[in-house]
Structure 1
Amino acid sequence: MSLYDEGHTIAGWTGFGIAIVGSAGVGAGVVMASVPALVGGLVITAGSVLVTWILHLTGWGKPPGVRPRDQWGMRLRDTQAREGHPGCVGCRLAGRGRRVESPVPGAIPAESIPLSPIE
């Protein structure tokens, strides 16, 4: 099993569910040739991105990359969300997780999580 466990969060699944409803609305709008249904589906789909982003910023999403196994649970809230996740585009768009330049080019930051002995 991969150590990356990406997308298995409340934010990810909620956004996915809303996007499915929006996609169904877009599909219905195309089949019925209805502009209001098409626009409504597009608005719902765009809303799914905003809902996912807001849930991620409130701690219901997890950062990209390797996480310890005890943080894999979907119902676990991320306590580091307020500071922002390094390398996370959503956090950077919200003004969190500013890039910290390494003093030595190519050096690995001390706060990086080591890989398991399997990898």
Structure 2
Amino acid sequence: MSLYDEGHTIAGWTGVAIAAVGSSGVGLGVCTASLPAVVGGLVIVAVSALVTWLFHLSGWGKPPGVRPRDQWGMRVRDTRARQGHAACVACRLAGRGRSAVNAVPVAVAQGEVRAES
């Protein structure tokens, strides 16, 4: 059994359910040649991405990587979501999970090296 347990979260399942409705709307619009239905379905798919992102930031999504077995349940909320997850794209987009401790050094034109945060 895998130790990663990816996708078993409230954020993940809610996003997939909303995206399925949006995809159905796009498919219906394509079959009926209805541009408003296609656009409406695409808007719903975009909303699903935003809802998933907001749920993840509020603690209902889990960070990538290995987690202890007691945190595998869907109803277990992530208490580290406020600080952000180091390797998480969603947290980086929200400005979380990046500090001077894990900053990447950047080479400056004069040859100096400084930490970018």
Q: Provide the TM-score with structure 1 as the length reference.
A: 0.84
Structure 2 unmatched ranges of 5 or more: 105-117
Following TM superposition, where does structure 1 have runs of at least 4 consecutive aligned residues deviating by more than 4 angstroms? none
Partner amino acid, structure 1, of 2:71: Q
Alignment of 1:103-114 (within 5 A): none
Aligned position for 1:64: 64
Bigger strand share: 2
The C-alpha deviation readout for 1:37-93, integer Å capped at 9, x for no partner, is 000000000100000000000000000000000000000110000000110000000
Identity score, percent: 75
Report the CA distance between 1:34 and its aligned residue.
0.2
CA RMSD for the aligned pairs? 1.1
* Cα distance per residue 1:2-60 (max 9 Å; x no partner): 00000100000000000000000000000000000000000000100000000000000
Bigger radius of gyration: 2
Q: Aligned pair count?
A: 102
Query: Residue 16 of structure 1 corresponds to which residue in structure 2?
Result: 16
1:116 match:
none
Tell me which residue corresponds to 1:112: none
Structure 1 segments unaligned to the other structure (5+ residues)? 103-119
